[in-house]
């Protein structure tokens, strides 16, 4: 697949969706594609389905048009899944994927199941947004689309710190800057700026952190009760696992937060030695070599111990 145009030419109705609990790369890549179709294929009826995105991403063009309700009576000529490793991760939008005439998946997760009719999967890419840049004609990437793409790249590379950042990543970032985006503002307001309560809950997570495996691993847990006490939601916990990861001599960071009924969302990060995607798949999750996640029921101590047993096999 060289670009979207060949698939859009014959489509009258298109649905776009990403993974549940959308992050910057998911929201940015989906909005970039949505804006592209809106701008250059006005005859196409296009809908974008995502769970509610964090407020920091609502500056992106047409974010107010995102649909977070999923009526049963809709069917599409083309479904575009982005930043999603399997159909289950599409959440409520999976039914539109299953009923669509044709399907495309654009993704960079190494654990991707190649579940669509046409798959554009490159695990070496820094982000799905990097792939979207390659799929769109450069002359049609305006400033607003460039903002969406840059936002996703910033968030999946940790502002170009993580090992997924390549020379190509930086070259694309440079081309996006040439489109006139306010890149310092995007970085500051969507990545670094935190609310008072976000700083407080991060401080709690750091205070509760525990070292394992002779200091090679670090873990922390935030309970549902603590989230209520600090008046934060799951979307406000972004950045905690990355902060744990930068602890000196730590190779793997593990962060858990409580969902419902004894279930925990698990986020993991590594520096150089541990393939976290391999571990996540064993727990019915997915992700990248250096960043992966999954959900799991049980006591947090038991969940962490199960993960550590897998980490030890690679250290």
Task: Give the residue among 251, 288, 34 at the shortest CA–CA distance from 155.
Answer: 288
- CATH 3.10.310.30 residue ranges for the chain: 196-314
Tell which CATH classification among 3.30.200.20, 3.90.480.20, 3.10.310.30, 3.90.1150.10 matches the domain 196-314: 3.10.310.30
| Rounded Cα gap, residues 32 and 50, in angstroms | 14
Predicted confidence pLDDT, tens digits, the chain (315 residues): 678 898 999 999 999 999 999 999 999 999 999 999 999 999 999 999 999 999 999 999 999 999 999 999 899 999 999 999 999 999 999 999 999 999 999 999 988 999 999 999 999 999 999 999 999 999 999 999 999 999 999 999 999 998 899 999 999 999 999 999 999 999 999 999 999 999 999 999 999 999 999 999 999 999 999 999 999 999 899 899 999 999 999 999 999 999 987 899 999 999 999 999 999 999 998 888 899 999 999 999 999 999 999 999 999
pLDDT at position 110, please? 87
| Rounded Cα gap, residues 29 and 105, in angstroms | 12
**pTM for this model (two decimals):** 0.90
Contacts of 314 (CB under 8 A, 6+ apart): 273, 274, 275, 278, 279
pLDDT at position 1, please? 65
- CATH 3.90.1640.10 residue ranges for the chain: 5-192
Q: Is 17 exposed, middle or buried (0-12, 13-18, 19+ CB in 10 A)?
A: buried
264: its two tokens:
């925990």
| Rounded Cα gap, residues 169 and 209, in angstroms | 33
Residue 104: strand pairing partners: 80, 118
Residue 269: strand pairing partners: 253, 291
Task: Give the residue among 121, 99, 100, 101 at the shortest CA–CA distance from 110.
Answer: 121
Domain 5-192 bears CATH identifier 3.90.1640.10: yes
Cβ contact 51:20 at 8 Å? yes
Q: Is 118 exposed, middle or buried (0-12, 13-18, 19+ CB in 10 A)?
A: middle
pLDDT at position 106, please? 98
């Amino acid at each position: 697949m060289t670009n979207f145009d060949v698939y859009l030419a014959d489509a009258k109705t298109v649905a776009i969706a990403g993974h549940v609990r959308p992050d910057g790369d998911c929201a940015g890549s989906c909005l970039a594609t949505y804006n592209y179709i809106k701008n250059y294929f006005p005859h196409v009826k296009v809908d974008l389905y995502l769970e509610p995105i964090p407020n920091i991403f609502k500056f992106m063009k047409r974010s107010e048009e995102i649909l977070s309700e999923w009526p049963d009576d809709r069917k599409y000529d083309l479904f575009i899944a982005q930043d999603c490793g399997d159909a289950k991760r599409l959440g409520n939008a999976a039914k539109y994927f299953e009923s669509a005439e044709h399907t495309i998946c654009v993704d960079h997760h190494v654990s991707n199941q190649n579940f669509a009719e046409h798959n554009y999967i490159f695990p070496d890419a820094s982000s799905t947004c990097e792939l979207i840049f390659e799929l769109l004609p450069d002359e049609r990437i305006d400033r607003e689309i460039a903002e969406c793409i840059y936002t996703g790249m910033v968030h999946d590379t940790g502002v170009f710190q993580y090992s997924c950042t390549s020379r190509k990543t930086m070259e694309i970032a440079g081309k996006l800057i040439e489109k006139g985006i306010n890149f310092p503002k995007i970085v500051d307001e969507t990545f670094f700026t935190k609310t008072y309560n976000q700083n407080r809950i991060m401080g709690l997570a750091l205070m509760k952190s525990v070292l394992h495996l002779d200091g090679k691993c670090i873990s922390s847990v935030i309970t549902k009760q603590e989230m209520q006490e600090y008046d934060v939601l799951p979307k406000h916990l972004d950045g905690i696992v990355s902060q744990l990861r930068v602890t000196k001599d730590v190779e793997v960071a593990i962060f858990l937060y409580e969902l419902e009924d004894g279930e925990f969302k698990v986020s993991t990060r590594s520096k150089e030695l541990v393939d976290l995607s391999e571990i996540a798949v064993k727990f019915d999750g997915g992700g990248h070599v250096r960043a992966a996640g999954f959900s799991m029921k049980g006591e947090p101590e038991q969940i962490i111990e199960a993960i550590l047993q897998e980490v030890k096999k690679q250290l």
